[in-house]
Amino acid sequence: MAVEEMISHLKEMGPILRIQTVVLKEMQSFMVGRGFVQLLPIVTSVFTDPLAPDPASSIVFTPSFEYYSQKLVITQSMILHKQLSLIAADKIFIFSPNVRLEKSERAKTGRHAFEFTQMDFEMAHAKMKDVMDLVEDLVIHVIKKVKEECKEELDLLGRELKVPSKPFKVYRYSEVLEKYGSDEALSEKEKDPFWIIDIKREFYDKEDEEHPGHFLNYDLILPEGYGEVLSGGEREYKYERIMERIKELEKEGRDYSSYKAYLEVAKMGLLKPSAGGGIGVERLLRFLTGKKHIREVQLFPRIPGEEVIF
């Protein structure tokens, strides 16, 4: 994107930014209304979400730097900090910036940016069903408010929005792969948001102890081919179980030495059973505005493999 193209892009962003303002306002007011405490984001840390072995991840590397002889990394996700934050409050949320330097081919999906914002949240003593219920209410609320407050902007964009009804459909990941080949293919077929559950991912997503090899996690998938907008799960919180999962992954050559302080807290028994997730703000905005690519809803696009202009 050349400078001239960027200027043209900026001039066209007005309606999208007005919709984004309503989305952020309503997400915040909804969460506060449900008793959540808002945190400020963490941008640097000694550790971050490893995003592995998540099958949806294609990270090239994790940005790091040395500061006063200590190695710090840039936040890929605040998941572990969310668990730690529950020591202070039982229901928390954050508008969290994420930097994920993914392979350039991810630009083709229309969903991937290497810098983006999530509305992250976590609830102590919650189960998968609690999160699904909360998120369905949130999505319905946001769509209703955008339709009410942004009629002019939606008309300018030629976008008609349908308010979905609860409960959303639920599919197992294995079923999706067997019947449809991918969540993207099923997203193309569905007309309403739906859930995919039981996906083998990072060590912190809780394994179903009654059904080993199955996981108490979930993705929310948008219809019309817009794809995943939320990823989350119940969390492993017992030190012994976390270490079992980490040792399995260390056999694949993964290094968890930087997680020492987090593991000390787990060993002290201070991590609470919890569940939560993260909603991609730009992905939700892309769906609400009917745009084909996420670059069209970022004021300053950050797309894998593409040149950064501003």
Note the pTM of the prediction, 2 decimals: 0.96
117-147 pLDDT, tens digit per residue, is 999 999 999 999 999 999 999 999 999 999 9
- Predicted pLDDT of residue 58: 86
- Predicted pLDDT of residue 52: 77
Alpha-carbon span 189 to 267, nearest angstrom: 45
Question: Block means of pLDDT (10 residues each) for the chain, length 310 residues?
Answer: 92 98 98 98 96 80 95 96 98 97 95 98 98 98 98 98 98 97 96 97 95 97 98 98 94 92 98 98 98 98 96
Any idea what DSSP says for residue 178?
H
| Domain architecture of the chain: domains with CATH | 3-297 (3.30.930.10)
Among residues 276, 237, 231, 228, which one has the least CA distance to residue 94? 276
Helix/strand/coil (H/E/C) assignment for every residue in 250-295: HCCCCCCHHHHHHHHHHHCCCCCCEEEEEEEHHHHHHHHHCCCCHH
Contact 44, 64 (CB under 8 A): no
- Predicted pLDDT of residue 56: 73
- Predicted pLDDT of residue 293: 98
Q: Produce one character per residue of 8-44: b if its CB has 16 or more CB atoms within 10 Å, e if not.
A: ebeeeeebbeebbebbbebbeebbeeeebeebeebee
Alpha-carbon span 164 to 154, nearest angstrom: 17
